[in-house]
Chain A
Amino acid sequence: GQQLNQSPQSMFIQEGEDVSMNCTSSSIFNTWLWYKQDPGEGPVLLIALYKAGELTSNGRLTAQFGITRKDSFLNISASIPSDVGIYFCAGVNDYKLSFGAGTTVTVRA
């Protein structure tokens, strides 16, 4: 599938800080998904976005689907140690997911 450009590639953050990451693509997607992957585990779905411009929250997580359907951002507010992991964005058309390369988040206590 098409490759999504995800940034930043990695980040070190202080506990309590807010975090922001984003994905862009040259292709339009019908659905945008954000996953978190812990070491040794499969990706776990965090947020799903279905409508252009949609802003959705899940606890301390907030994500928005760009108006053009070619981009999305994910914000984590008031980060805690368990936020450590790799965050992936994925664009969906029909049944195929195209993934970003991931953002590795490390939290300093």
Chain B
Amino acid sequence: GAGVSQSPSNKVTEKGKDVELRCDPISGHTALYWYRQSLGQGLEFLIYFQGNSAPDKSGLPSDRFSAERTGGSVSTLTIQRTQQEDSAVYLCASSFIPSGPLGETQYFGPGTRLLVL
């Protein structure tokens, strides 16, 4: 597709279960980002991937959160032993290159709405 896609669009899970969220970036975009948006809040940076470089994980809130990017394209965000405070919208974004006037412009997917009961 032309834009960033994410799946599932909605996920309801029980406390303590693991969840996986998927992101397909725009074709040709080398940089991929994950953000979390809690109700009524701005976006919180989680993790950043660029090519084969080591990801910037500085925004991950705990060791229950991890992410992978396979083949420089699709990414999966995994939350283990989910807690109720993990309930949020998880947004993925991609950009052509990580820096410079064109690369700093990030394009967002529709998000995955996670509800932990």
Residues of A within 8 A of B (CB): 1, 3-4, 6, 30-31, 33, 35, 40-45, 48, 50, 88, 90, 92, 94-102
Contacts and interface: CB of A to CB of B under 8 A. Distances in A.
A6 B42 CA distance: 10
B108 A88 contact: no
B59 to A, nearest CB: 8
Interface string B81-99: 0000000000101010011
A45 B107 contact: yes
Contact of B48 (A41, A45, A95, A98): A95
Contacts of A88: 42-43
B110 A96 contact: no
B99 A94 contact: yes
Interface string B18-49: 00000000000001010100001111110010
Nearest to A50: B101
A56 B111 CA distance: 28
A33 B104 CA distance: 9
Interface in B55-69: 56
Given A43-B91, A94-B98, A102 B105 contact: no
A102 B93 CA distance: 18
Contacts of A40: 110, 113
Interface residues of B, number: 30
A66 B53 CA distance: 33
A94 B95 CA distance: 12
Contact of B104 (A31, A42, A102): A31
A100 B42 contact: yes
Nearest to A99: B42
Contact of A43 (B31, B43, B56): B43
A96 B48 contact: yes
Given A30-B104, A31-B101, A95-B99, A42 B4 contact: yes
A98 B43 CA distance: 8
The interface centre, meaning the residue of A4, A99, A100 with most chain B CB atoms within 10 A of its CB, is A99
